[in-house]
Structure 1
């Protein structure tokens, strides 16, 4: 960010606009509420998007579910826009149109228009950029708009849109300072994306009563996992069933099967379930950056944005399956201090042989010393660990010491994975 304050009149590039917006309201400052963003959206009718709108909330699995739906809809010939956050390497990743990140020029034009529309209304970084994304979706109509909720649901800026279907992927403890201290309270916040008489899909395996009660209050036709639709994992395949519709012998995808099952329930609501050969083809090719993403295989380097207890448990299960193929499993971890660091590292203590703990920058970044305290609290035995002041330094040192039969997992935050991806691309190009 430049030392001198920018003005909107001086913004020429996307980087300029992002600096200007962040100067006005830092990216890591959270200020929930719909009044400001709705006031600006109403001036251009941005809440009413063209095509069918799917609003996706959840503690984990939002990005995966959006990706799965995107690929299955594209494969059936529909045009699709996807809004998600945060990004890993480039801001442009936050909005995809038909599988391509929106280019700088469209973002710049949209941000200039939002700046004019907002007049004297103060907007957060997320509110401003969300409105810009909605404006692009309004101007570049698609058959389906898949909108990923940023935080919670009820008070998130994305919740100004009018969805045709609302989705809750999973519910677990995260962002308790804003959403509540237990799963019932968090579920209530996420159920804020439901709309009167509109269908909902719930992919949480242990759904809180606050969620189902809200669906009933609003008369929402609901498809709930393990009640209305089910999936079963076998050794090397899986099956899915919803009423009379179903699939057998599906390939295990690169993303959580639970999220695929939830996505299929959404398509069932839309009467757009694909033919099995097409589904098999899409699942075989399904990938999402930052989710169990192998950067290389010898030695193995994997990045995953797991950053809360629920996602850590899933990551631990994947690593446990991989561990027999490697001599050592090493971890590079950087987290935000508002996360439950002890509970997030706890599930992994049985599969990690050596820990590399790194500080993250900014007011929300946890220090390596704070991570150490959490690790020592979580571990049953004395762990082998080392401390670093930044992720890039830690990763470069690890690259120099990895052996061919090692597996290195990098996790804990989008910030951590983003720094590693940038460093890896620099080191290998």
Structure 2
């Protein structure tokens, strides 16, 4: 056997090269076999979070509140923007290169002849790292779907499904019912199964009931109410009043916060948190790229919205921001997304479109995408509307910045790659 990589970049390069040609290989038998060989288990409560949109926000709120409560918290969240280490957090800090290399070595030593995809290998490594860190609680974000996601080889104490909408149809099915069933795959018999989607698919409810999970539904088992200043959470046996709005901006954040508080209600004997910890946790929570409004002018907004549900929320959030003379969009998207569904809510909001090619073979062609946007009906006067294609998100953003005044705003959206490309370009120019 050749010697193993000794640095994180070389390890990631090796993993990418091993599976450069493979599709997503659904099925958990291989991952489970390596998990068992590692004897990977958690000696603390595990919260698992799935959902079309909102899972990152929910995970971050849970982490923030539990850190305020003085607990040692582990978080696995994805994808990353600038550094792979962003995916593994211990006590709010990114895992070190050294810790990740050690975890990669552990997986490699135990996998034998079993072939693992990049995602499966890195998921096992990060879960291995977290399992060795002496934590009080672990929060695991599901990557794709739920039932067949590599994270699902672990048994959670509490499962959350934030929202169910159409995305990744080629793997999860083309209806909310099929997708709801896939996401309900993270539920466990006798354990709390929380769903914060206001209209949960019947398939999700049926699956939870069929396996004997303890199903918590929004509006039945937990709820929220709010005015302009503050909001209240009500659960089965716990109320939390006079809460601050989460620092994460956007229309759906109270749904996500309510799901987080329902999970904490379930775990209140193992992980009690007081009112002040909840308030502070919600105020200080940070999550890059989710309706993230940067300081300064012109206003710059990062949003990873890449499906119709998230795009509709983005349009609503932009509408709530007040007046701006022009809205510039830096937009790049994967070809396999429902592109018309993503564009529709924003057609009347954006004046100037800067369409970017993304650094992925799955990227939609920027020139063709620009032509498609130019053909969309618009109320704007021709001189107030432009559509251009660019080779990458950095170039698209630089052009928008050169044309925008301090009374304008630039919204960067469509994919993690779009936001990461702009973040990275801005980092090198600052």
Q: TM-score range by the shorter chain?
A: over 0.9
Q: Which runs of 5+ in 2 are unaligned?
A: none
Q: Which moved more, 1:269-278 or 1:214-223?
A: 269-278
Secondary structure of 1:50's aligned partner: coil
Paired residues of 1:342 and 1:377 also in contact (CA < 8 A): no
Give the TM-score normalised by the residue count of structure 1: 0.94
- Aligned-partner Cα distance in 2 for 1:9–1:379: 58
Q: Is residue 284 of structure 2 the alignment partner of residue 281 of structure 1?
A: no
1:269 aligns with 2:261: no
Matched, 1:103 2:96: yes
1:163-182 residue pairs with structure 2 within 5 A? 163-182=156-175
- Residue 86 (1) aligns with residue 65 (2): no
1:425 Cα shift? 1.4
Structure 2 match to 1:260? 257
Residues 22-55 of structure 1: CA distance to partner in whole angstroms, max 9, x if unpaired?
Answer: 0001398422211111111110122x22211111
| Count of residues in Structure 1 that have an aligned counterpart in Structure 2 | 420
Moved more, 121-130 or 282-291: 282-291
- The aligned counterpart of 2:309 is 310
Q: Residue in 2 aligned with 1:414?
A: 416
Whole-Å Cα distance in 1 between the matches of residues 11 and 325 of structure 2? 47
Instruction: Kindly report structure 1 stretches of 4+ aligned residues shifted beyond 6 Å.
Output: none
Unmatched tracts of structure 1, length 5 or more: 1-6
* Offset, 1:373: 5.2
Q: 8 Å contact 2:64–2:284 — kept in the other structure?
A: no
Query: Offset of 1:225 from its aligned partner?
Result: 0.8
Is residue 41 from structure 1 mapped to residue 43 from structure 2 by the alignment? no
Of 113-122 and 234-243, deviating more is 234-243
What is the CA distance between 1:351 and its match in structure 2?
1.7
Following the alignment from structure 2 to structure 1, what is the Cα–Cα distance between the partners of residues 274 and 264? 12
| Correspondences of 1:187-266 after superposition (within 5 Å) | 187-255=180-248, 256-266=253-263
Contact conserved, 1:28 with 1:364, CA < 8 A, in 2?
no
1:395 partner SS = helix
Secondary structure of residue in 1 paired with 2:38: coil
Cα offset for 1:241?
1.2
Question: Residues 189, 379 of structure 1: CA spacing in aligned structure 2 closer, same or farther, 3 A cutoff?
Answer: farther
- Where 2:295 maps in the other structure, the secondary structure is strand
Name the CA distance, whole Å, in 2 between partners of 1:273 and 1:290: 30
CA–CA separation in structure 2 for the residues paired with 1:141 and 1:178: 35
Match of 2:359 in 1: 361
Whole-Å Cα distance in 1 between the matches of residues 106 and 195 of structure 2? Answer: 36
Contact 1:336 1:413 in 2 (8 A): yes
Q: CA RMSD in A?
A: 1.8
Once the two structures are superposed, residues 274-300 of structure 1 have per-residue CA deviations (whole angstroms, 9 ceiling, x without a partner) of 433332222222221111222332111
The alpha-carbon deviation at position 105 of structure 1 amounts to 0.2
Report how far residue 369 of structure 1 moved.
3.0
- 1:291 counterpart SS class: coil
Change (3 A) 1:8 1:227: farther
Question: Which deviates further from its counterpart, 248-257 or 151-160?
Answer: 248-257
Q: Which residue of 2 aligns with 1:294?
A: 293
